[in-house]
Amino acid sequence: DVKVTQSSRYLVKRTGEKVFLECVQDMDHENMFWYRQDPGLGLRLIYFSYDVKMKEKGDIPEGYSVSREKKERFSLILESASTNQTSMYLCASSKSGGYYEQYFGPGTRLTVT
């Protein structure tokens, strides 16, 4: 059974803290994605990676960075968390090519106080 796991389901952090969200997939997928999900806005792409050490900005990269040192692992970093980054964060992976479906992790609900 294919699997995407995320390091935490719920996380509470203080403003200004550095936050790491980790995602691991076991399907040997080339592509990995980080989205944030907010009510009424759907899923917005933060960053994606199409290979180890390769990354591209998505639609809302400001305030975030990513790291992909191994094929199976893709980390999202909030350099200095702010309250407007309170959201649900979803990681996904897929084979290379726009016709392959994405597989999603369970999500991390991050609250920044």
Partner 1 sequence: AQSVTQLGSHVSVSEGALVLLRCNYSSSVPPYLFWYVQYPNQGLQLLLKYTSAATLVKGINGFEAEFKKSETSFHLTKPSAHMSDAAEYFCALGASGTYKYIFGTGTRLKVLA
Which residues are near partner 1 by CB under 8 A?
A: 4, 9, 31, 35, 40-43, 45, 48, 50, 56, 58, 90, 92, 96-107, 109
Beta strands in the chain (DSSP E): 4-6, 10-13, 19-25, 31-38, 42-51, 54-57, 64-70, 73-78, 87-94, 103-104, 108-112
Beta bridge partner(s), residue 106: none
**Minimum gap (Å) between residue 104 Cβ and partner 1:** 4
Nearer Cβ to partner 1 (35/64): 35
Tokens of 58: 């998505």
CB of 101 to partner 1, least distance (A): 5
Min dist CB 44 to partner 1, Å, is 8
